[in-house]
Structures are given as C-alpha cells and as structure tokens.
Amino acid sequence: MTWLLDYYNYRIVAQYLGRFAEGLSNTLTAAGVSLILSLLLGTLVALALLSSRAILRKPIEGYVAFIRATPLLVQIYLVYYGLPALLPIAKSWNDMYFGIAALTLNSAPYMGEIIRAGIESVPRGQIEGAKAVGMNYGQRMRYVVLPQAFANTLPPLIGQTAVLIKDTSLLSIITVFEFTSAGILLNSERVRPNESFLTIALGYLLIYLVILLLSRGVKQWLAGPAWNAQG
C-alpha cells in the first residue's frame, strides 16, 4: 500500500478525521434545518401560487422568479449583508444562521413548485367526487387531495433535497465550517490537494448514494396499490 501514499496519504486524512466529522455534522445540520424550513415555506408558496387572489399570487410569483433567475452565491451574499439591516436580531447571529436562512429562501420556491405541481396533478374528478359526498375544503384537502399529492411530490422532493445538500457547500464561502471547509482547511495547512478535495468529493458521493437508494426505495413503495388514483 505504500505506493498509494504518494497519491493519497490516508494517514494525513486520519489526522483530520475529527475536523471532517465536524464539517459533515454541520453540513447535515444546515441541510436538515433548511429542508424542514423550506418545506414549510414552500407549502405557503404553493398555496399562494394556487390562489386566485392576485394580491397574494403576484408578489410570490415575483419572489419565485427572482430566486430562479439569480445565482445562489449572490443570494447568500444578499442575505449575509442584508438581513442584519432588515432584522435587528440578526446582528447577533452566527454564520450558520445566515447560511440556513439563505438556503431556506433559495430552496422554498423549488419545493413550492413541486408541491404545487403535486396538488394540481390530482385529477379534478377526485375533488368533484369529494364535493358530491359533501366534504368541505379542509376535508377534501385532508382526505382526498393531499394523500394523492403526497405520492406525486415525494420523489421530486427527494431529488430537490439532494440538490440542497450539495448547495450547502457554498456556505464555506461565508466561513461556515461545513464539510467543504474541512477540506479547504486541510489543503491550506498541509498543501495536499488530493487528500483534501478527493476526500470531500467522496464524502458527498456517499451522501448522494444514500439519497439515491432512498429515492429508489420510495419509488418502489409508492408504486404499490392505492396511491395513484386513475382518471
């Protein structure tokens, strides 16, 4: 195995294992918290986009267009420098909070679009049928629309989660110590690019693999009976 040490000295990586673990846990925290917050915000975005009231729909459409048409990095800078001016509490935040805020604001429109498409994919006949048996709006949503929309939204939501996890790497630029930062730290202290960047690439690949397997499992699970109504 000594020939390997020239190209990839795993002993150096082992020395930095604690730092890599710290970075990984911050990456997963940032991604996890942003995922939950952006699902909540995304649901509101979806409901606003489906609303027939222009006063609700138009501003949200503008927000969605802005997020989709500008780079995440610029959005991160805007949140990082802009939020303390808007929210006085944010002045005492650490970088992680800004990172989570930026990722949430970035991710919510994408989540919202997926949820909106899921709700719209439920056949009209289902809603008409529910109305015919005398269900009110809440009951129709709870028992008819949402369970079917759920089946249609889960696979793309998992895909969007994979994107969100990859996007957390940009938080290294606003000095959040996440997984990529651990690699950058190793490279700046030891000048070993292979050990630094190939290790983090491998780490992200493993996370991706887990998500990929999860997504396949979910697709198989949803392909079972009673989920997708025909018609």
Partner 1 sequence: MLERYWSITSSLLPFLWQGFLETLYVSLVAIIAGSLIGALIGLVRSQRVPVLTSIFGLYIHILRGTPFLVQLYVFYFVLPNTGISWLSWDSRTAAFVALSVYTSSYVAEIVKGAVEAVPRGQSEAATALGMTRLQRLWYVIIPQALKLTVPPMSGVYVMIIKSTAILSVVGISELTRQGEVSILRFPRDVLFIYGLIAFIYFLYCYPVLRFARWAERRVGAARTVDLD
Complex with partner 1: residue 101 or 145, whichever CB lies closer = 101
Complex with partner 1: residue 145 or 196, whichever CB lies closer = 196
Distances (CA, A) of 124 to 16, 114, 131: 57, 18, 11
Min separation Cβ 117 and partner 1, Å? 12
Complex with partner 1: residue 154 or 171, whichever CB lies closer = 171
Min separation Cβ 226 and partner 1, Å? 28
Min separation Cβ 131 and partner 1, Å? 28
Interface with partner 1 (CB under 8 A): 65-66, 68-75, 77-78, 81-82, 85, 166-170, 172-173, 180, 183-184, 187, 193-194, 196-198, 200-201, 204-205, 207-209, 212
- CB proximity list for 141: less than 8 A, separation 6 or greater: none
In 3D space, the residue among 13, 22, 14, 15 whose CA is nearest the CA of residue 178 turns out to be 22
Distance CA 65, CA 183 (A): 34
**Do 64 and 58 form a contact (C-beta atoms < 8 A)?**
no
- CB proximity list for 220: less than 8 A, separation 6 or greater: none
Min separation Cβ 6 and partner 1, Å? 10
Complex with partner 1: residue 5 or 78, whichever CB lies closer = 78
